[in-house]
Amino acid sequence: MARRPPQDDSNAPQWLIQKARVILPDRITEPCDVLIQKGCIAAIGLRGKERLRRDPEEVRQIDIQGDYLAPGMVDIHVHGGRGTDFMDGTLDAFRIACTAHLQHGTTTILPTSTTASPDQIDRFLTAAGQYRDGWNRSWGAWMPGVHLYGPFFAAGKTGCHSPEEARAPEAREYLKYLRSGLVLVATSAAELPGAVGFYRAALGAGCLVTCGHSNATWGEMAAGWRAGMRHVDHFWCAMSSIPSLRARCGVPMQASMAEFVLAEPTMSTEVIADGCHLSPELLQFARRMIGPDRLCLVTDSNRAMDMPPGRYRFGNAQSGPWFESDGQVGWASTGSLASSVQGMDHMVRGMVRQGKATLFEAFRMASLTPARLIGLDAQVGSIAPGKKADLLVFSKSLKLKSVMLHGEWVHGSMARGNSSLS
């Protein structure tokens, strides 16, 4: 599949970020320097100063005084923000939502479809192509592709998505989507007729293949796994459980998607750590039993992020079902949750404070693990020489202060020119 390199950053300014507590995948450094050249991370620690001595080009220096320097986050499951949903299907909607999420620390974003008509999914993909191909930093987070999430959901498991638009995967519909070259993550419920063919086609298109909004049995998961399915969307939400399968299949009781993920080391999943979807002990359980290398943090946030409490549509602005945001989370009219209204900075704090993850584990779940699952970890996902300079400055109390995207400050005090430049 065509995976375009990001824009040419050869003219981006050179930066030396000083006294940074660098959050690496497995530890946090003592305060040290990070050198940024041509939009990429050039050196960490003393090597940065050595390189500058050999190559004393003009460099802007910034002292972050022991604050954390974290990797830009990678959100593989996100519907919208700041009043727009990606299913609105316009370039403007993409720019607004991708800017909102960038300001919460997401530097790489995979806009995520809902259940919708084929026309609406076509418009979503067209807008995604326009955003990816015309992108520059002022538009918002970098978007290498999308998550084809709805419409292939199981009846009775559609959650806040429109149930009328849920359907089984048919090649004549999904091959067109996969041939767009935009789909990096592809979801279907494993028990639907045609799911195995969809999984094979998505694997062939280079996607991370996932099962979600599903009441699948272990046997259906195993058949999906043999066809390349390796991930489950938002663990514990809209997925099968032993009781849900007892209702579907009777006795003997059946193992569910949860047991399949817990038992199968090649499976990965994701959690919504907003404090509303999952209790602290469930986040702690996921961290201990699944671990930071196969557990992602996602926002799953909708258009009500960064908006006042009120009534909003989930998915397309004209036809999506209504939900209510209380400012903390979305609520469907049925009384069940309707996805989150928080950004990735909030999810990392949730995984640390409620999930009891170490800071570097929480950031690994929000950056390197999702980047690896979508095949982009050579470019983004951690603070390492050669990778894109996607960097976040967090205070000691985990407040996001500044965002650097591909080597330029795009949000926070540094972007506003308040830094002490030399």
Q: How far is the CB of 280 from Zn ion (least distance, A)?
A: 21
Of 33 and 300, the one with the shorter C-beta distance to Zn ion is 300
Residues 6+ away with beta carbon under 8 Å from 15: 35, 36, 59, 60, 61, 62, 389, 404, 407
| The pair of three-digit structure tokens given for residue 76, joined into one six-digit string | 């593989």
Choice between 24 and 332, CB closer to Zn ion:
332
> Pattern of binders to Zn ion over 31-60, x per CB under 5 A?
------------------------------
* 75 touches Zn ion (CB under 5 A): no
Residue 85 interacting with Zn ion (CB under 5 A)? no
C-alpha distances in Å from residue 81, one per residue of 112, 312, 404: 12, 11, 20
Only segment of 26-34, 45-53, 260-268, 299-307 that touches Zn ion (CB under 5 A): 299-307
Distance CA 237, CA 91 (A): 30
Comparison of 83 and 412: residue with beta carbon closer to Zn ion: 83
- Residue 147: name the closest of 188, 117, 201 by CA: 188
Does the protein bind Zn ion through residue 361 (CB under 5 A)? Answer: no
- Rounded Cα gap, residues 379 and 381, in angstroms: 7
Strand partners, 313: 322
In the block, residue with structure tokens 């599903």: 214
Task: Answer whether 383's CB lies under 8 Å from 69's CB.
Answer: yes
| Shortest Å, Cβ 236 to Zn ion | 11
Nearer to Zn ion, 134 or 322 (CB): 322
Residues 6+ apart with CB under 8 A from 263: none
Of 75 and 300, nearer to Zn ion (C-beta) is: 300
User: Could you say whether residue 270 binds Zn ion (CB under 5 A)?
Assistant: no
Where does this chain touch Zn ion (CB under 5 A) — which range of 7-15, 42-50, 293-301, 386-394?
Answer: 293-301
Q: Contact at 8 Å (CB) between 390 and 404?
A: yes
Sequence-separated (6 or more) residues with CB below 8 Å from residue 397: none
Q: Is residue 300 involved in binding Zn ion (CB under 5 A)?
A: yes
Chain residue at closest Cβ approach to Zn ion: 300
> How many residues interact with Zn ion (rule CB under 5 A)?
1
Binding segment (CB under 5 A) for Zn ion, from list 51-59, 292-300, 308-316, 365-373: 292-300
Residue nearer to Zn ion on the CB measure, 88 or 300: 300
Nearer to Zn ion, 135 or 149 (CB): 149
Which residues in this chain contact Zn ion in the complex, by CB under 5 A? Answer: 300
